[in-house]
């Protein structure tokens, strides 16, 4: 197989955990410090050398495209008013979009993450591809996508990003039973979705980064929906494992920020704000003054 050239980003969810904010602003456009969450995801994709990006959106949910489009009128006004610092910020956004192909598939109803991925079948063809879920922002020297892509180049099999999670939090995740192959590399033996107490096969949980091969669509097209009528990617991967398919896991290097609910979003804002080269020093001083 060739190197990975396509990235899929599902953003069709209702954002119910962010109500009432998400009534007005899609959660992927909520700010993390000085830019929206989706920009961190796009930057990770671009730094990994991928320029073909496919969004899975809700009907009429094209707000993210407006954000990344050029805005010549605004640039002209900023230039005329000599707002060079603001103009520079707009140009940074333009640079991100440079040489990037944005396209989208529509998920008409929120029927699960697996169903969302199924919508991009016609865009993928016979190519391997990565999937990034924007609820997870990953702060790392080497982009997480690049890390799992490197594993894929060696094994040419699907790869899941993994992270060690405290035992008391594992009930919120898909947790894997593994066989260690090398440093940070595992062969996945089983996936237990949201295990109950004592059912955790390990402390390694699935985080929202995957490398898939095209055969995933055969399973997505055949799997029966859950009782809630949804198709979950973890159940599809478990079916692939039971059929003898090989799937690898990689315990990525970096800090994972959980932006899937309000508290995680607030914690992520603190983390990124304090690390910010411009705002960090002043914020640390401010926090010291008020505590």
Structural domain that includes position 244: 6-290
DSSP per position, 185-232: EEEEEEEEESPPTT--S-SEEEEEEEEE-TTHHHHHHHPPP-TTS---
What is the DSSP code (8-state) at residue 271? Answer: H
Give pTM, 2 decimals. 0.91
How many separate domains does the chain show? 1
Across residues 128-149, what is the average pLDDT? 96
Q: Is residue 209 part of a domain?
A: yes
Q: What is the CATH number of the domain that holds 164?
A: 3.90.550.10
Q: How far is CA 19 from the centre of its chain?
A: 21
| pLDDT score at 107 | 92
C-alpha distances out from residue 33 to 70, 228, 259, Å = 22, 36, 13
* pLDDT value for 68: 83
Does the residue 1 lie in any domain?
Answer: no
Instruction: Count the helix, strand and coil residues of the chain and give each as a percent rounded to the nearest 5.
Output: 40, 25, 35
Residue 156 domain-assigned (yes or no):
yes
36 located within any domain: yes
Predicted pLDDT at 153: 93
- Residue that the structure tokens 């961190």 belong to: 40
pLDDT (tens digit, 9 = 90+) per residue, 204-235? 999 999 999 999 999 998 887 777 778 889 88
For residues 51 and 101, the answer to whether their CB atoms sit within 8 Å is: yes
CA–CA distance, 189 with 203 (Å, rounded to integer): 14
Please indicate, yes or no, if residue 202 is contained in any of the structural domains.
yes
């Amino acid at each position: 197989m060739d190197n990975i050239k396509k990235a899929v980003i599902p953003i069709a969810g209702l954002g119910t955990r962010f109500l009432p904010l998400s009534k007005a602003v899609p959660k992927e456009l909520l700010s993390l410090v000085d830019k929206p969450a989706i920009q961190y995801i796009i930057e990770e994709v671009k730094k990994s050398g991928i320029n073909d990006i496919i969004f899975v959106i809700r009907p009429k949910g094209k707000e993210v495209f407006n954000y990344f489009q050029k805005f010549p009128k605004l640039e002209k006004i900023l230039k005329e008013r000599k707002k060079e610092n603001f103009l520079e910020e707009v140009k940074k956004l333009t640079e991100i979009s440079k040489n990037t192909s944005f396209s989208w598939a529509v998920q008409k109803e929120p029927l699960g993450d697996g169903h969302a991925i199924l919508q991009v079948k016609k865009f993928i063809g016979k190519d391997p591809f990565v999937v990034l879920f924007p609820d997870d922002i990953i702060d790392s020297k080497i982009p997480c996508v690049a890390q799992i892509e490197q594993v894929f180049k060696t094994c040419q099999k699907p790869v899941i990003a993994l992270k060690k999670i405290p035992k008391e939090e594992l009930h919120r995740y898909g947790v894997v039973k593994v066989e260690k192959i090398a440093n940070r590399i595992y062969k996945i033996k089983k996936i237990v979705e949201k295990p109950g107490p004592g059912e955790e096969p390990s402390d390694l949980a699935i985080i929202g980064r995957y490398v898939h091969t095209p055969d995933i669509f055969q399973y997505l097209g055949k799997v029966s929906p859950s009782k809630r009528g949804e198709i979950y990617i973890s159940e599809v991967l478990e079916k692939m494992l039971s059929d003898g398919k090989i799937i690898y896991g990689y315990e990525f290097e970096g800090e994972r920020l959980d932006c899937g609910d309000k508290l995680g979003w607030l914690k992520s804002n603190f983390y990124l704000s304090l690390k910010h080269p411009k705002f960090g020093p002043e914020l640390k001083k401010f926090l010291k003054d008020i505590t």
